[in-house]
Amino acid sequence: MESLIIFFVLLSLGYVFGKMSENRHYRSIHAREQALVALPTTSSKKPIGNSAPIHHAELVYGHVVISVDYFKQILAGLRNLFGGTVQSYETLLDRARREAILRMKERCPTADQILNLRIETSSISKGDAGDQIGSIEVLAYGTAISFESSSQNHLE
Amino acid sequence: MKYQPSLPEHNDNVSHLHPVREFFTLMAGVLAFVLIGYWVLGLVVDVAVDYLSPEQEAQLHHTLDIDWDMGEEVKPDEQAKLQKLVDSLKPCLALPYPITVSLVKSDIVNAMAIPGGKMVVFSGLLDTVSSTNGLIFVLAHELGHFKNRDHLRLMGRGIVLTILAMLTLGGDSGFSDILASTINIRTAKYSQTRESQADQTALQALQCHFGHVGGATELFESLQSREKGVDLRLTHYFDSHPELQQRIDDLNRLSHELGYALQDTQELIEP
Amino acid sequence: MFISNIEDIPGKTITTCYGIVSGSTVRAKHVGRDIFAGIKNIFGGELKAYTELLGESRDEALSRMKSQAQQLGANAIVNVRFSTSSVAAGAAEIYVYGTAVTVE
């Protein structure tokens, strides 16, 4: 009986605090995306627009590790029995990716474009519990380029 | 080519079903599946056990013969007396294999039927019953468990439960407690049914052996008077035996229905 | 909606670029498929149930990416890349991303 009560307490804690943290994170993501939308990011290898000479190119990356809360884990475990989309993990991954891309952009605020964006996702599991996943790590990397002359900085 | 900075209005990469609702839906689904599965497989076990022939049953019991060390044994002549009493019930409660009785010195007021054809009687029981009829009722109750093959039924259900648990749980321990509690209630209810059945078998054996059912409820009444105060427990649902008052009431009702008479009981003679 | 995983759509020119768009789904298998896969582990061979499951997930992820591109006003996506990862016990995440553009 006690373990049942503990289970529900943990579940509620996971849900409440997880939801709060998620909402806070999403607000922060929205604000930063608005601020950084001017920096073009593509998965193409060629720069958008002009073929002006590039005077500086460097590899930039952003990464984040976000943990799963108890409520999400239980929900995913239940889903495993019936199949279907694991909705509790979708928000987690969405946040992690957007955060990683934002961190990458924040690394090079003076760059003109970021090319060849690639994203790597991996799961980091707790050692003892076998197949239980503890957290998600997302790495976003690309090449940030700056054009030669300052008059070419703004794309028309 | 130009760049047009823009951001999507709504996020397509997430679903909008409320997670708490999803949780309850899934949980209800799992509980329903497990309960129905347990009920169906329990029925299968019952039918299978009923179909066993006495020879097959005797063979099963032989393989299940476990050596249980229950404690210090007492005077062999008291044990021999008990064995004689149990053997004397053979005409009324026939079993395809012999029952061996062990008497163990203990304060416990109980007797146990063990798979393999062994019965253990605790000396506390002998101190509490005052008539041969009362003692015979308890012995007949345990023999009733053997006759109804209750051990096989409970073991079969145990196997079924283990399989169901393996299928649905697969490593997660969180909601296994909810499942375990639900299943325990079902198992306890089933066990209580089997105990009532054994009581009924014992009552009929008592009538057959003595010609009347005086002394059937003796042990329960004696135990009841020992329980001082009000029983405040809320967990009768988890008990493997029905409540004492319920057992007494059921026995009285059954005697009335079957037209059994109550007469004076024989005193228990101690050597 | 044109989709390609090279730099452009052959035969068309890119006029506007909108940035990165992506689509993702997380799908879990269910117990039945799990048991079947366990048995298949002994005999080897293709796990058709899983192939089908992940195929459906990819289609779902692609359609999410397309709808995000449409929201931005694009009509093509170039340089598309896929990524699959295992994020929970028994669940796989399919992620697809590319650059949303308008072609003529």
Identify the H or E element spanning A2.
helix A2-36
- Cα(B260)–Cα(C22) distance, rounded to whole angstroms? 81
Q: pLDDT truncated to tens, each residue of chain A (156 aa)?
A: 677 788 888 889 989 999 999 999 999 999 999 999 989 999 988 888 767 888 889 999 999 999 888 888 888 888 888 888 888 889 999 999 999 999 999 999 899 999 999 999 988 876 555 445 678 899 999 999 998 865 444 554
List the domain range (segments joined by +) for residue A36: 2-152
The answer to whether the CB of C97 falls within 8 A of the CB of C21 is: yes
Q: Which of C8, C12, C72, C104 to mutate against chain B (most B CBs within 10 Å)? A: C72
The pLDDT score that the predictor gives to residue C97 is: 95
- Nearest chain C Cα distance for residue B238, angstroms: 30
Neighbouring chains to A with at least 3 Cβ pairs closer than 8 Å: B, C
Domain that holds residue B77: 20-62+69-225+239-258
Question: For position A75, which CATH number holds?
Answer: 3.30.110.70
Give the C-alpha separation, A79 to A87, whole Å: 9
Chain C partners within 8 Å of A104 (Cβ): none
- By mean pLDDT, which of B1-15, B137-151, C30-44 is the weakest? C30-44
A28, A98, A102, C14 from A31: Cα distances, Å = 5, 12, 11, 29
**Sheet architecture: strand order including A113-125:** A54-67, A133-147, A113-125
Distance from CA of B171 to the nearest CA of C (A): 10
**Euclidean distance between CA atoms A55 and B185, whole angstroms:** 75
| Neighbors of chain B by Cβ distance (3+ pairs < 8 Å) | A, C
Q: Do A79 and C86 touch (CB under 8 A)?
A: no
Check whether domain C2-103 has CATH 3.30.2290.10, yes or no: no
Task: Give yes or no for a contact between A76 and A86, defined as CB atoms under 8 angstroms apart.
Answer: yes
> Is 60 exceeded by the pLDDT of residue B174?
no
**Among the residues of B52-122, which ranges form H helices?**
54-63, 76-88
8 Å CB contact of C30 and A82: yes
Query: Which chain A residues have a beta carbon less than 8 Å from that of C79?
Result: 42-45
How many domains does chain B contain in total? 1
Report the residue of chain B nearest A78, measured CA to CA: B26
CB contact under 8 A, B26 and A37: no
**Beta carbons of C19 and A42 less than 8 Å apart:** yes
Long-range contacts of B221-228 (CB under 8 A, 24+ apart): B221/B248, B222/B128, B222/B129, B222/B130, B223/B109, B223/B128, B224/B248
Across the interface, which of A94, A132, A156 has its CB nearest the CB of B13? A94
In chain C, pLDDT over 70 holds for what percent of residues? 99
Strand blocks (E) in chain B: 2-3, 100-104, 111-114, 118-122
Q: What is the mean pLDDT of chain C?
A: 88
The Cα of C27 is separated from the nearest Cα of chain A by a number of Å equal to 4
Q: What is the pTM of this model?
A: 0.72
Of C16, C19, C73, which has the smallest distance from its Cβ to B1's Cβ? C16
Count of domains observed in chain A: 1
**Helix (H/G/I), strand (E/B), else coil: B97:** coil
Residue B8 lies in a domain: no
**Which pair of tokens denotes residue C94?**
């399919």
User: How many CB pairs below 8 A link B and C?
Assistant: 48
B44-92 pLDDT, tens digit per residue, is 888 888 887 777 777 777 776 666 666 666 677 888 888 888 888 888 8
Express each pLDDT in C3-35 by its tens digit: 998 988 899 999 999 999 999 998 887 777 777
Reported ipTM: the value is 0.84
The nearest CA of chain A is from the CA of B162 a distance in Å of: 17
Is A91 an 8 Å CB contact of chain C? no
Indicate the DSSP class of residue B238: G
Cα–Cα separations (whole angstroms), residue A152 to A57, A74, A149, C26: 16, 53, 6, 42
pLDDT at A130: 47
Chain B contact for A46 (CB, 8 A cutoff): no
Residues 6+ apart with CB under 8 A from B151: B64, B113, B115, B145
